[in-house]
């Protein structure tokens, strides 16, 4: 939809990968709609995933004993977070929708993306208890996990060897994003792109573009235990 702002947080080392293609076609389709699209290409940026005292500029709140959560919270209030964090927070603040594009690593996001979540979604910026879930500081924004897997759809079905894929989304969708106030759009999952035929991969890309055309009409999922564990 024209005028909407989208941030794509993208974690893949290889532009020619399936994730690279999914990211590129999303940028093309959303731009075509008149959205303004920003990409945080985490490997390309050599994004720092570690939570260290370098994230705080100037004096520490408690130099005697370092507590990252407290220091980041204080630094956030005082405008003393490092430049790279302030820049990512600016992109999030502007965005109506944040798409996370990544290959599933150990039922989760790759470490570089986990580091982005750890470092960017600071207390005081994304949440500030009791300002969480429906009153999280990033309410009125939407988030969508778009990812690829190694395992196929059958493995990730109810009763499959890995269990229902929805179970592994609980920490990311509910524990992180919904906690910060985002409403969650249904995940976009490309199962086993390495193992399927070329036509199926093309089909996966086509269905992502097709979905993006009407994405703005979608209702968020009901991000409660029922969605994950029914």
Positions touching Zn ion (CB under 5 A) are: 174, 178, 223
Output 11 or 137, the one with its CB closest to ligand FAD: 11
Which two structure tokens, joined as six digits, stand for 113? 């993306």
Under DSSP, the state recorded for 171 is I
Instruction: State which of residues 26, 75, 95, 104 lies at the interface with ligand FAD (CB under 6 A).
Output: 104
Give the three-class secondary structure for 94: helix
Q: Name which of residues 190 to 229 contact ligand FAD (CB under 6 A).
A: 193-194, 198, 201-202, 205
Could you tell me the smallest distance in angstroms from the CB atom of residue 109 to ligand FAD?
Answer: 10
Q: Does 167 bind ligand FAD (CB under 6 A)?
A: no
For residue 19, give the nearest of 121, 92, 99, 117 by alpha carbon: 99
What does the angle CA 56 – CA 44 – CA 176 come to, to the nearest 5 degrees?
55
Q: Name which of residues 5 to 24 contact ligand FAD (CB under 6 A).
A: 12, 14, 16-19, 21
For residue 72, give the nearest of 59, 53, 58 by alpha carbon: 53
Q: Does 28 bind ligand FAD (CB under 6 A)?
A: no
Output 1 or 202, the one with its CB closest to ligand FAD: 202
Q: How far apart are CA 226 and CA 223, in angstroms?
A: 8
Output 9 or 92, the one with its CB closest to ligand FAD: 9
Could you tell me the smallest distance in angstroms from the CB atom of residue 128 to Zn ion?
Answer: 18
For residue 182, give the nearest of 49, 93, 105, 112 by alpha carbon: 93
> 209 Cβ partners below 8 Å, 6+ apart?
25, 26, 29
Question: What are the residues binding ligand FAD (CB under 6 A)?
Answer: 12, 14, 16-19, 21, 103-107, 148-151, 193-194, 198, 201-202, 205
């Amino acid at each position: 939809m024209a005028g909407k702002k989208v941030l794509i947080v993208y974690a893949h080392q290889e532009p020619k990968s399936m994730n690279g293609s999914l990211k590129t076609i999303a940028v093309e389709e959303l731009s075509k709609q008149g959205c303004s699209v920003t990409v945080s290409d985490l490997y390309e940026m050599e994004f720092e995933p570690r939570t260290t005292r370098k994230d705080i500029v100037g004096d520490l709140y408690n130099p005697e004993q370092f507590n990252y959560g407290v220091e980041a919270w204080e630094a956030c209030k005082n405008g003393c977070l490092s430049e790279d964090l302030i820049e990512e927070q600016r992109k999030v603040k502007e965005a109506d929708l944040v798409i996370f594009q990544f290959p599933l690593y150990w039922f989760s996001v790759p470490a570089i993306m986990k580091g982005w979540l750890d470092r960017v979604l600071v207390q005081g910026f994304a949440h500030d208890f009791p300002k969480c879930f429906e009153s999280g500081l990033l309410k009125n924004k939407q988030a969508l996990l778009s990812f690829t897997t190694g395992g196929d759809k059958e493995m990730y079905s109810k009763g499959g060897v890995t269990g229902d894929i929805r179970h592994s989304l609980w920490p990311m969708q509910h524990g992180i994003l919904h906690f910060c106030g985002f409403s969650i759009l249904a995940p976009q999952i490309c199962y086993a792109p390495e193992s399927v035929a070329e036509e199926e991969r093309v089909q996966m890309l086509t269905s992502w573009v097709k979905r993006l055309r009407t994405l703005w009409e979608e209702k968020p999922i009901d991000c409660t235990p029922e969605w994950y564990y029914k």
